[in-house]
Amino acid sequence: MASEIGLSTDPGRFASVMIDNTVPVVSIQQILQQPGNVPVNTCAIVNTGSPTFTFVVTASQPQSHLLGWSLTAYWGDNKSKTVSSDSYSNHISPSRLWAGITAVAVPPPGPTPWNATVAGDPTSTHCAHSFFLNAWDRVINGWCYIHGVASYQKSITLML
């Protein structure tokens, strides 16, 4: 036999629940060689100019519950270099909402171009590069995050 303590009108008997089934949206819209914002198409071979680039990206969460995002370059034999990243901890506000970024040029500030050159590694400017944009949201089930990473990838080859 089930029984209740108190009345249904007592304070604290009800809780508001928010359901958020949306996952982050990620996209690398453009790769731009610097200086001059020269567009670099997917799978292009870049063999002239400087090894500096900016990226127009979207890493957002429709309900403004983004946890963070990162853009990383991978090339060669297990080599990698961070391009740019950001997290909710840099945007905490009373509303507790952070949507992320939409169609923003990174890396910031300015943006300052990302340089593919890695001292002591000649493959950093003579190899295929894959750029991975990953994003995570802050949606939990009470114990842990419920969505995995959202990911987007573009590749170019540097022969500079």
Average pLDDT over residues 109-130: 93
CATH class of 25-159: mainly beta
Rounded distance between C-alpha atoms, residue 114 and residue 117, angstroms? 9
Give the model confidence (pLDDT) of 16-55 as tens digits: 777 888 999 999 999 999 999 999 999 999 999 999 999 9
Give the model confidence (pLDDT) of 124-160 as tens digits: 999 999 999 999 999 988 889 989 999 999 999 999 9
pLDDT on residue 99:
97
3-class SS of residue 38: strand
**Domain residue ranges in the chain:** 25-159
